[in-house]
Chains A and B, each alone.
Chain A
Amino acid sequence: MVALPYLLPYLPELTLLVATFVVFLLDVAGEHRRTTLGGVSAFFLIVAFVEVLADLGTWPFHALSTLPASWNGTAQGPILFTSLGIVFQGIFLAIAALVAIASLSEAEDPDGTPTFYALLLLASLGMLLVAISGDLILLLLAVEVTGISTYVLVGYTRKDRRALEAAMKFYIIGAFSTTISFFGASLVFGAYGTTSLLAFSQVPSDPSLALVGFAMIAVGLGFKVTLVPFHMWAVDVYDGAPAVVSAYLSAGSKKMGLFALFAIFVGAVRVFDTAGNGYALAIMMGGLAIATMTVGNVLALQQQTMKRMLAYSSISQAGYMLIGLAVNTTPSLSAATLQMVANVLMKGGAFVAVAAAAAIGVGPLITDWKGLGHRRPILSASFAIMLLSMAGIPLTLGFVGKFYLFFSAILAGGLFAILAIVGLLNSAISVFYYARILKHIYMPEETGSPDAHGGTRSLASSTLGSSTSPTDPQPSVAISEFRAMGYARMGVIVACAVLLIALGIYPTPIVTALNAAAHQFVALH
């Protein structure tokens, strides 16, 4: 008989499992409305999120986390609880909850709705398992649980041909990458004689075999994380999928892949630094990071549609985060995780904002957003904050994350400083395309006739006299904006923007928690 206290650490997972069944049961009972299904999903996701916060001891119910204290950092069979893993559980649940709430504003779709929420919960369950895996096989299986759920999630509408095409592409690439990962895992098992993740910080009996295996696992997970050159599928899928699903893929399942990389490689990268193998894995990770940042950014420069731009910028963000693994120190892992927290808010929020804009008839092109700053001030301001955060402009969480990341790379010194410099150059390039979007939103070509302050005085006053201030506080405008684009959706967007700023100004609690978690993680592996 299992004693109840031993189940407590699994409370978030159990909660999601229950939630999945509840959604399936409601479907069987003939309940297809978004408000019910989405509300139930969001409720359970938030409950699980609170449980995770409790596990972290950052919530009043600290007592809960003291129960399995002896488990923290100790492998229990294939399960390994680490503070960093719990932090990632929080990240996964946050993005899932965000998507669940935002999707309440999507159109009713009796066939698709139950599938959507059930799969969302199932995919999140897989992510939670990834975060507590202490064993390579369990980890890859959990990745697959999420993977299969998300393949279907992309095409859940079943009517949209582009979404179906995207789902098909995603599925084929996903299956392919899984195969590579598992092949790599078998080689790693051959080299180490065990699949425990903690063993990878030892010198393997056959280093070159292990290296090949690790490389294959990195390739397989690289597809999930959209590392260049394994990124080809990502843009088409993000572009074709419904925007909320894109938000989930970009901000959620990509982070899962990164955590899987962390869990497998943090020990291994260090071992291969010291075991006379040069810097094989660090160089591989660094090279992937450089390629991913650069290609993602350069291609993002040329995009004409908003979703594709966000997709490429999401690829480049993955490159920044991989710097954390290449540098492989406490500050770098802490920084990469901080950057992921920022990504949940800015990438998740931005894709939801695209969905919101589509709901009021804004086309897919970047130029379709022209002048939106005047017509939809709240949506535009929130979106602008997200873009500034992606560009790494201060007072946003994106800045703190990027700063800390480059800081950690420079701190590590030597060749790692190159990563920081390439990252900074990329960051400078990226400013160009983010600023260009801001320009379209707030500085449309048509309204400002060339004589903004030119012409004679009489002319100037006659042409400009008619325009009114866009920032006049007219509550009716705000309410109508929320109504037009959906209260839930707008609520999520505004909350993301506010959090980006608030945490950008005062990131102290998060950074402190992440530093401790990363420290434990590095010490453990």
Chain B
Amino acid sequence: MYDLSILLLIAFAGAAITFFAGAKARWVALVTSVGTLAMSMWFLGTFLNGNPLDYRFVESYHWLTFATTNGGSLAVNYTVGIDGISLPFLFLSAILSVATVIYHWEERKDAAGFFGLVALTNAGLLGVFVSLDVLLFFVFWEIVLIPMFFLIGHWGGPRRHYASLKFFVYTHVASVVMLVSLLAVVFLGQWPSLDFVNLANNSQGVANLDAANILPATQVVLFGALFFGFGVKLPMVPFHTWLPDAHVEAPTGGSVLLAGMLLKMGGYGLIRLAFPLLPAGHVGLEPVVLVIAFASIVWGAFLSLSQRDMKRLVAYSSINHMGIVLLAIALWTQLSVTAAVLLMFAHGLVSGLLFMLSGSVHHTFGTRDIPSISGMNSRTPALTTILMIGSLASLGLPALVSFPAEFSALLATWEALGWWIILPLLALVITAAFYLWMIQRMAFGPPRGVPDTAHDLPTHELLAMVLLVSLIVLYGILPFLIVTYIPHTAIFVGCHYGGPGVCPTSP
């Protein structure tokens, strides 16, 4: 009944308490994030009962009424609910915040502030994934920015001030563009309220949210704006430049949440709003979207290849991976959208792990410069082992979670585009190359750049990584555990909103 509200309440109240908990902040943050994790696992457990096309756990309360020009009004509601698309993200967000809190267990610098901001990021993220109202969605979307701005700006690396401002300004501009185009969709589509719960919870579609009210040419413009708004977050080439800066300067936990969750907001927005709302728009812009997706895939891979800084390498490989996500979304078939969600889930776990690894490498060796470290395995076997697992997971080794995701994405690409699949495949080869090359240089060979004082992972860092590794393996071997949920969404139904699988949308 009030399930999702309780989830948000736990998350926000926990975050607020953490700020004032002083020395006990880490415990409060842990309890909070474990609480949200428990709630999201409970959602996983009870989700599958019910009509596959409906949102579950829907709550809706009146929040605000805006006047409109002709004496009418437009309601803004607090409407929340989840479906198969949002549920994996809820779970992922809770998992990653638990892992982040554990990883930073010994954080000393303004610990209460740090844990409070991590908890607040988690709360905002949960809000984004459960909102079913345009304004509510935007509110949570923006809430996520603030803690991340402070996390980068206060706990970050040497150029953290530049990076945090750049991050904030880039993503804020993008979200403002997104908001305007969403409002335009609302007005032009003559919605009775800002809710999008009715958008697709009915296989016939709901007349008053019908995009048919909007001219195809207008749809193309609006889709372009929405695509920009979500794509900057994703990030897509050429609007990706904030990402390496933000990542390299962010503290480890910030990077984990940034790569693991904030990038997913972009993909989620595309799947939830941009594509279903404006079918004619995405058909019209399909070539542009595909070109950008291919560019992100190839460009991200090549840039990764040339990085010396381990964290920067992981950051650029995120661009590559999110390019594949964009490609899968752009194909807009049932298989490809499922693959996109699974890919984002996998990338959340794997990139989280890799950013933790680069943080630990930095702690242990005082540098993240790949060429200056070698022979890690003699001193730090645990760190090296996990580094290898993380890298192999990222390059898509079978039995690890990225494999089923990338495989299904490529399968969907083959079905829709045929031989164009060579481009992402080529990029996959490069991805494999730079990860293997990194492992080869860092893990093996004669010890160099490894101080005698270096010791292996402390327990809390190890624990956080083991948590992620076990999930990576679990979902790699049994991907159905998460894939089962994804088709439980009305986005997959019918042609009415350009639902995938039925309408011919490929070029």
Report A's interface with B, CB cutoff 8 A.
Answer: 329-331, 334, 388, 393-395, 399-400, 403-404, 406-408, 410-413, 420-421, 424, 427-428, 431-432, 435-436, 438-439, 442-443, 445, 448, 450, 452-461, 464-465, 467, 469-473, 506-508, 511-512, 515, 518-519
Contact = CB atoms under 8 A, between A and B. Distances in A.
A407 B20 contact: no
A394 B110 contact: no
Interface in B278-295: none
Given A410-B184, A439-B165, A329 B108 contact: no
B143 A395 contact: yes
Interface stretch (B338-346, B359-367, B433-441): B359-367
A460 B64 CA distance: 49
B100 to A, nearest CB: 13
B276 to A, nearest CB: 21
Contacts of A431: 168-169, 172
A452 B180 contact: no
Contacts of A330: 67, 69, 71
B224 interface: no
A443 B180 contact: no
Contact of A435 (B135, B158, B168): B168
Given A394-B142, A394-B143, A519-B67, A456 B184 contact: no
B142 A393 contact: yes
A469 B143 contact: no
Contacts of A445: 161
Given A411-B68, A469-B113, A456 B20 contact: no
Contacts of B160: 443, 448, 452
A406 B186 CA distance: 14
Contacts of A458: 453
B485 interface: no
B67 A427 contact: no
B157 interface: yes
B396 interface: no
Interface in B437-461: 451, 453-455
A450 B157 contact: yes
Interface stretch (B87-95, B148-156, B411-419, B465-473): B148-156
Interface of B: 19-20, 22-23, 25, 62-69, 71, 73, 106, 108-113, 116, 135, 138-140, 142-143, 145-146, 149-150, 153-158, 160-161, 164-165, 168-169, 172-173, 176-177, 179-180, 183-184, 187, 251-252, 359, 362-366, 451, 453-455
B308 to A, nearest CB: 16
A100 to B, nearest CB: 32
Nearest to A393: B142
Nearest to A434: B168
B108 A452 contact: no
Given A395-B143, A428-B173, A412 B112 contact: no
A452 B157 contact: yes
A408 B140 CA distance: 22
A507 B135 CA distance: 13
Contacts of A508: 62-65
A469 to B, nearest CB: 4
Nearest to A467: B109
B106 to A, nearest CB: 8
Chain A binding surface, main DSSP class: helix
A453 B63 contact: no
Given A428-B169, A469-B22, A471-B19, A394 B138 contact: yes
Contact of A469 (B111, B179, B366): B111
B108 A465 contact: yes
A293 to B, nearest CB: 14
Contacts of A515: 65-67, 73
Nearest to B141: A394
Chain B binding surface, main DSSP class: helix
A514 to B, nearest CB: 9
A141 B92 CA distance: 64
A472 B69 contact: no
Contacts of A439: 153, 161, 164-165
10 closest pairs, A vs B, by CB? A394-B139, A450-B158, A472-B22, A464-B108, A331-B67, A515-B67, A469-B112, A443-B153, A471-B112, A394-B142
Contacts of B156: 452
Contacts of B73: 515
B66 A331 contact: yes
Contacts of A399: 139, 142
B84 to A, nearest CB: 27
A459 B108 CA distance: 13
Contacts of A388: 146
Residue of B67, B154, B252, B359 with highest tally of chain A CB at under 10 A? B67
B169 A435 contact: yes
A507 B138 contact: no
A438 B168 CA distance: 12
B168 A456 contact: no
Nearest to A518: B67
Given A395-B143, A432-B165, A512-B65, A461 B155 contact: no
A467 to B, nearest CB: 6
A428 B142 contact: no
A110 B23 CA distance: 48
Residue of A403, A420, A427 with highest tally of chain B CB at under 10 A? A403
B164 A469 contact: no
Contacts of A454: 157, 362, 366
A452 B23 CA distance: 19
A469 B142 contact: no
A406 B138 CA distance: 14
A103 B474 CA distance: 64
B22 A471 contact: yes
B153 A469 contact: no
Contact of B453 (A395, A420, A456): A456
Contact of A456 (B106, B108, B149, B366): B366
11 contacts: A331-B66, A393-B142, A394-B142, A412-B69, A439-B165, A443-B153, A453-B252, A453-B362, A454-B157, A470-B110, A470-B112
Given A457-B364, A469-B112, A472-B112, A452 B176 contact: no
A467 B66 contact: no
Given A412-B69, A427-B176, A428-B176, A507 B108 contact: no
Given A329-B69, A394-B143, A404-B66, A457 B112 contact: no
A404 B359 CA distance: 43
A470 B65 contact: no
A403 B135 contact: yes
Contacts of A406: 180, 183
Contacts of B135: 403
